[in-house]
Structure 1
Amino acid sequence: MKALRTIILAFLATSRVVAMPQNSLPNQKVLDASAKHVKALGVGHFSEWSRATKKQFLVDWQAGKESEWIIVEGNEGGDLDSMTAALTWAYHLEHSSENTSHPIKAIALLQTPSHALDLRPENKLALDNSQMTPGHEDLLTMDELPEDPETLSRKLQGIVLVDHAEPLRKWSHANILSIFDHHKDRGTAPDAKPRIVEIAASCTTLVARQMLDELEKLDQEYHMPHELLELVLSAIAIDSSGLTSDKTTKADIEVSKRILARSNWKNDNLEDVMEDLDDELSKAQKDIDHLDLRDLLRRDWKGDLIDTPSPRTPTVSLGFASIPYSMDEQILKTDFAELFDWFAVHAAWTAEAGVDISICLNKYKKHYKGGKKEKIREVVLTVRDDVRIDQDQADSLFKTVKEALEKNDEGIELVPWHRAHELAPRQMVWTHKSGAGRKLFRPIVEEAVLGWE
C-alpha cells in the first residue's frame, strides 16, 4: 500500500507537459530551442486555475481593477498549512460563486518571497505531488506583488486571513472579510464572515470544513480537483503527525475523512494515508542540513512593525526566526565557524530585513549516554541601533525586552547560554527546557515594546 502510493506520488511529481504556443503548428520551425523558451507547465485543473488566476490578477491590476479582487493570505512564515489554507479558500471563493450574479475574483498570496519558498522542502514536495508548475510560477508571492501592500490594501475589495488572526501592519488598511485561525483569538475584525478561530492541529482543517459545508449546500457542486484535495490532506497530516499527535482534534479527523472520500485515495484506509503523507513530508522537512545560516534565518521568518508610545520612535520593527538547530550547530554553518561570524551573518540579514529587534528561537535534542534525548530550546535576543533607533534608545529597548523575557509570567526559566559571557552589548542567548515557542514569546516581546518609553 505505502509502496504503491510512493510510486504514484513519484510519477505525478515527474509528469510534466511541455507547453507550446496556441498558434503553433506541428511543422512550425522552432526558432530557439534554448531552455528559457521551453517551459514545463503543471498538469491538471488545479495548476491551470492557479496560473490563470495569477495572470488575471496582474492583468486587472494593470487595468486599474484592483477593487474587483479579494486576496487570501497566510502568515509570512509560509509553511505548508498556511499555503494550503490560502489556496483552498481562494479556489472555493471563485468556484462557489462562478454561476452567480456576483462572481468573486480571489487569489491566494504567499507572504514569503519566491526565493525563500524552496527553503521549505516539504512545500516543494507537496506542490510537486499536486502537479504544480516547477519554480512556483503558478503561485503569487510577496515579491511579485506589483504594488506596495499599504497602497494596494486600500484598493482591494478586501482580504481574508488564514493561519493568522490579525493582519500585518502593512495590510492594516484593508477590509478584512474573513478570518480562519487555529490559535488564540486576538479580537480582530469581529464582524468578519466567516470568522472561525478554533483550536485544531491545522488551520487547513478549518478552511476545508467550511469549504465542504458550503460546497454541499450548492445546487450543483463545482469541480474539486484531486490535486487540491491531496494537498489538503498533506497539510493536515504534517501538522497532526498523521492524526496521531496530541494537537489532533476531532475536527482534524472528521475533515480528513470527508476530504479523503472525495480524493483519488478514497478506497484507502485513512490512517494509512495520513501516516504515509506524514512520513514522506516530515522526511523532506528535515532535509535542510545543506542550508547555511542566512537561509536558516529567513526560512521561517515572521516580523511586523509595532507602534510604541515613544514620541521619538513611534514605530519599531520586530522579527522572529525559528531554527531547528542549536546555536553551537549554527555557528559551524558560518564561513569561519566562530561566534563572531554568527552575529555578522545575523546582522547582515536583519539589516536587509530592516529589523530593530530580532528574536531567534532555536530547538534541538540533546543526546545523553544510554540513548536518552532531551529537548532543549534557545532564545537569542539582539537589538540594532542603525535602523529606526539610536544607540541610547537601543540600549534602553534591549534592557526592557530582556527583563520582560527573564521575568515572564509563563513560568519559563531562562538560563544564560554557556557562552553568554562572550556576547557583545545588546546580545543575549538563553536556554530553556519548556515547550514554549514563537506563539508564547512573541506576545511577551510585543507587550514589552508597547510599554517601552
Structure 2
Amino acid sequence: MRIAALVALLAAVLPSALGVPAHQLPLAAPLAPAPAPPVWPAEEGVGHFSEWSKAQKRQFVTDVVAGKADEWVLVMGNEGGDLDSMTAALTWAYHLSHNNEAGNRTIALLQTPRDALDLRPENKLALRNVLMSPGHRDLLTIDELPVPPRELAKQIKGIVLVDHPAPLSDWEEAKVEAIFDHHLDRGAAPDARPRIFEPVASCTTIVARQMLDELEARKEGEYHVPHEVVELILDAIAIDSKGLTNSQPADKFTAERLLRRSNWRDEKLYTVMARLDDELSAAKKALDELGVRDLLRRDWKGDLVKTADGTPDVHVGFASVPLSLEDQVERTLYNTTDAWFGVLDGFSNEIGVDVTISLHSYKSKRHEDGHPKGGDVLRSKKIKVREMVLAVRPTDNVSDAQATQLFDLVSKTLEESPFLDAERWADYKSLKPRQMIWVHHSPNGGRKLVRPIVESAIAGWKDSLAA
C-alpha cells in the first residue's frame, strides 16, 4: 500500500515538475479507494455532553430493536422544537441518567424531524457553541425512532414532558412520569412527580432549578455536570427572558446559580445574559434563505382534536412565522397569494392536516400627523401587526361538506372572539373557498392565545349532516 501511494503521489507531482502534460504520461492502474470512515472524526462533537448524548442514542436504538424498550424513559418537549424545549429535554435527560437510583435508562427525544432542526438558526448556533456534532448525529429526533411513536408509547417505561402541558395523541398510552411547564395546566397526569407549572420566562429555568436542587442534595456527592450543559441552559434562559430584562425572580436566581458553574463565572450575570441574548436573537432572525414550506415547518405545532361522538377527530396544525404574508408571497414562484396557499396546502397534505392555521407577526410603520413639539412634520411609529390565515381541506378523514362546516365554525369563532378583534383581510373576496385571512393587533395574540380558542371550538363540533 505504501508503494502504491508513492506511485500515485509521483503521478500527481511529476507532470508539473517536469513540464510534461499529464495526458501524455502512460496510464497507471487505478488505485482501490481506501474505505471511508462512517463519520469523519473532524466532524464529531467533542466533550462529555456530546459523547454522553451519542452513547445514549446508540444504546436506546439497540435496546428498542432488542425488545428492551421498557427500560427507557423518554424526556420530550413540544413539537415546535425551540431552544427552550430542546434544552429542557436534554438537561432533564442528562440529570436522570446520572441521578437515577432505579437504574432506568433516559434519553431526550426531540419531537422535530432531524432535517428541520436547522430551520431554527439559534438552535444550530447554541448546539455548535456547546460542541455538539454537526448534522445532529448526537440527538434523537422523532423521525429516527426505530418504531412508530404510538407503538413505542406502549413499550417504554414512561415519558417526561417539558415545555408542554400534556402528551400529544401519539404518546397518550405512555405513563407520564413528570411534567415541567410554564404554560397553563391542563390537568394531565395528576400523579406525575415532579409536576411543576410555573409562569417563568423559560421552562428550562424550572428544569435546571430542580436539577440543581437534587444535585446539591445528593448524599454521595455531586455527579459531574459539564460546562457545555450549564452554558446551553444559560442560552435558553437568556433568549426567552431577553437577557433577564423580561424575567421572573426564578429565572434570575437560577441563572446566577448556573453562572457560578460555567466558564463565565468571573463575569457579571447581566453582562453574560445580554451577550447571549444578542447573539442568539441575531441568529434567530436570519431567515432570508428559507422558503415558505420551511417557514411553516420551522415552528409548527399540531395534534388530533377529539370531537363529539359520531364526528371524526380533526387533525389541527398551527404554524408561527415572524414575517408578513406579503413577505412570504415574495418567496413563492409566482409571487401571488394563490401560490402561497398552494405551498400551504401541499405541506398540510404532506403531514395529513385537516385544519391549518398560520399565524404571522411583524412590525409595520404607521405615520401619525403632527410632531411632539408641534408643527406639521410626520412622525412614524412601529406597531406590531398579526395575521391569521385559515385553510380547511377535505381529506380521507374529513369530507367536503364536513370541511365546509369546520371552516364556518372556526371562522365564526375567530371573528367573534373578544380577545382578538380580528378584521378580514382587505382583499379577502379574492380567496378560494375555505380560505380566510384576518389582521389584528392583540399584543399577546399569538399561538398561545389562538390555539386554545380554535381547539375548544373544534372539540365541540357536531356534524350537522351526520345521520
- Structure-2-length-normalised TM-score: 0.88
Q: Distance in 1 between matches of 2:34 and 2:165?
A: 49
- SS of the residue corresponding to residue 265 of structure 2 reads coil
1:38 counterpart = 2:33: no
Q: Distance in 2 between matches of 1:310 and 1:331?
A: 40
Tell me which residue corresponds to 2:92: 89
Q: Show CA shifts across 1:341-376 (max 9, x none).
A: 011111100000100000100000002343420100
Q: Show CA shifts across 1:4-50 (max 9, x none).
A: xxxxxxxxxxxxxxxxxxxxxxxxxx963658652421110000000
Tell me which residue corresponds to 1:362: 360
Q: Distance in 2 between matches of 1:35 and 1:268?
A: 42
Instruction: Report the more deviating stretch, 400-409 or 136-145.
Output: 400-409
Tell me which residue corresponds to 1:237: 238
Amino acid at match of 1:199: P
Q: Distance in 1 between matches of 2:51 and 2:302?
A: 32
Tell me which residue corresponds to 1:9: none
Structure 1 contact 68–156 (Cα < 8 Å) conserved: yes
1:418 counterpart = 2:426: yes
Q: Distance in 2 between matches of 1:37 and 1:288?
A: 29
Tell me which residue corresponds to 1:374: 383
Q: Distance in 1 between matches of 2:198 and 2:337?
A: 42
1:396 counterpart = 2:415: no
Compute the displacement of 1:242 (Å): 0.2
Task: Determine what percentage of the aligned residue pairs are the same residue.
Answer: 55
Compute the displacement of 1:340 (Å): 1.1
- SS of the residue corresponding to residue 260 of structure 2 reads helix
Q: Distance in 2 between matches of 1:283 and 1:33?
A: 41
Structure 1 contact 161–167 (Cα < 8 Å) conserved: yes
Structure 2 contact 312–398 (Cα < 8 Å) conserved: no
Tell me which residue corresponds to 2:19: none
Task: Count residues with an aligned counterpart.
Answer: 418
Instruction: Output the aligned Cα RMSD.
Output: 1.4
Q: Distance in 2 between matches of 1:36 and 1:293?
A: 34
Q: Distance in 1 between matches of 2:98 and 2:262?
A: 18
Q: Distance in 2 between matches of 1:293 and 1:234?
A: 28
Instruction: Report the more deviating stretch, 361-370 or 280-289.
Output: 361-370
- SS of the residue corresponding to residue 262 of structure 1 reads coil
- Structure-1-length-normalised TM-score: 0.90
Structure 2 contact 324–361 (Cα < 8 Å) conserved: yes
1:287 counterpart = 2:286: yes
Tell me which residue corresponds to 1:267: 266
Amino acid at match of 1:250: P
Q: Distance in 2 between matches of 1:146 and 1:301?
A: 23
Find 2:321's aligned residue among 285, 299, 323: 323
- SS of the residue corresponding to residue 117 of structure 1 reads helix
Q: Distance in 2 between matches of 1:51 and 1:35?
A: 17
1:64 counterpart = 2:86: no
Q: Distance in 1 between matches of 2:103 and 2:156?
A: 15
Q: Distance in 2 between matches of 1:67 and 1:174?
A: 11
Q: Distance in 1 between matches of 2:238 and 2:396?
A: 41
Q: Distance in 1 between matches of 2:200 and 2:332?
A: 38
Amino acid at match of 2:317: G
Q: Distance in 1 between matches of 2:34 and 2:195?
A: 52
Structure 1 contact 73–111 (Cα < 8 Å) conserved: yes
* Deviant stretches of 4+, over 6 Å: none
Compute the displacement of 1:104 (Å): 2.4
Q: Distance in 2 between matches of 1:371 and 1:34?
A: 60
Amino acid at match of 1:414: A
Tell me which residue corresponds to 2:76: 73
Tell me which residue corresponds to 2:349: 351
- SS of the residue corresponding to residue 368 of structure 1 reads strand
Amino acid at match of 1:32: A
Instruction: Report the more deviating stretch, 125-134 or 146-155.
Output: 146-155
Structure 1 contact 320–359 (Cα < 8 Å) conserved: yes
Tell me which residue corresponds to 1:221: 222
Tell me which residue corresponds to 2:312: 314
Tell me which residue corresponds to 1:11: none
Q: Distance in 2 between matches of 1:290 and 1:427?
A: 27
Q: Distance in 2 between matches of 1:334 and 1:310?
A: 41
- SS of the residue corresponding to residue 387 of structure 2 reads strand
Compute the displacement of 1:307 (Å): 1.3
Q: Distance in 2 between matches of 1:188 and 1:241?
A: 30
Gaps of at least 5 residues in structure 2 are 1-31, 368-378, 463-467
Return the index of the structure with the highest Cα Rg. Answer: 2
Gaps of at least 5 residues in structure 1 are 1-29
- SS of the residue corresponding to residue 372 of structure 1 reads strand
Tell me which residue corresponds to 2:144: 144
Compute the displacement of 1:434 (Å): 0.6
Compute the displacement of 1:388 (Å): 1.1
Compute the displacement of 1:387 (Å): 3.6
Tell me which residue corresponds to 1:113: 113
Amino acid at match of 1:38: W
Q: Show CA shifts across 1:47-101 (max 9, x none).
A: 000000000001111110000000000000000000000000000001012xx4x
Instruction: Report the more deviating stretch, 114-123 or 388-397.
Output: 388-397
Instruction: Report the more deviating stretch, 83-92 or 381-390.
Output: 381-390
